[in-house]
């Protein structure tokens, strides 16, 4: 038997102000203000989030303003606007998407190993 995934939604006429913590997929069509903690969060085209967020994955189709720490990926769709401070592992901005944020991408271990290999090789290079 396949485990059923949690699914939550904030509809377009709903505004939440405070702390939201959720598991599974969380779709925001309304407005969220405050603090957001979740796994897979999707802000729809009509949705808006003004918050500090700690999530695994975040997809922005509407508006996000605040600070986000995404341990997985952050995607700004062509209709999305992201402003504030972003920390994530993987990052995508579609053509037309707007990004007005300080961005820090966290390297995984494979990237760190490659960087070390390249830097140790570059020690033996001669610049002319």
* Residue with tokens 């062509």, as numbered in its chain: 78
* Within a domain: 66: yes
* Within a domain: 2: no
The number of folded domains in the chain is 1
Q: Which of 51, 65, 67, 53 is nearest to 16 (CA)?
A: 51
* Within a domain: 128: no
Q: Which residues contact 112 (CB under 8 A, 6 or more apart)?
A: none
* Within a domain: 13: yes
* Within a domain: 72: yes
pLDDT tens-digit readout, 56-66: 999 999 999 99
* Within a domain: 127: no
Q: Which of 13, 102, 8, 86 is nearest to 54 (CA)?
A: 86
For the cut 50, the answer to whether the pLDDT of residue 104 exceeds it is yes
> In which domain, by residue range, is 83 found?
7-122
pLDDT of residue 117: 45
Average pLDDT value for the chain: 86
* Confidence (pTM): 0.81
pLDDT tens-digit readout, 29-87: 999 999 999 999 999 999 999 999 999 999 999 999 999 999 999 999 999 999 999 99
* Within a domain: 1: no
pLDDT of residue 108: 67
* Within a domain: 109: yes
């Amino acid at each position: 038997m396949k485990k059923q995934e949690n699914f939550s939604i904030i509809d377009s006429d709903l505004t939440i102000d405070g702390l939201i913590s959720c598991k599974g997929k969380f779709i925001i069509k309304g407005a969220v203000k405050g603090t957001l903690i979740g796994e897979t969060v999707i802000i729809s085209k009509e949705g808006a989030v003004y918050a500090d967020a700690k999530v695994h994955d975040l997809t922005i189709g509407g508006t996000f303003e605040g600070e986000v720490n995404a341990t997985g990926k952050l995607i700004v769709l062509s209709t999305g606007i992201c402003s504030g401070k972003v920390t994530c592992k993987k990052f995508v901005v579609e053509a037309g998407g707007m990004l007005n944020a300080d961005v820090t991408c966290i390297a995984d271990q494979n990237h760190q190993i490659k960087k070390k290999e390249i830097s140790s090789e570059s020690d033996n290079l001669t610049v002319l």
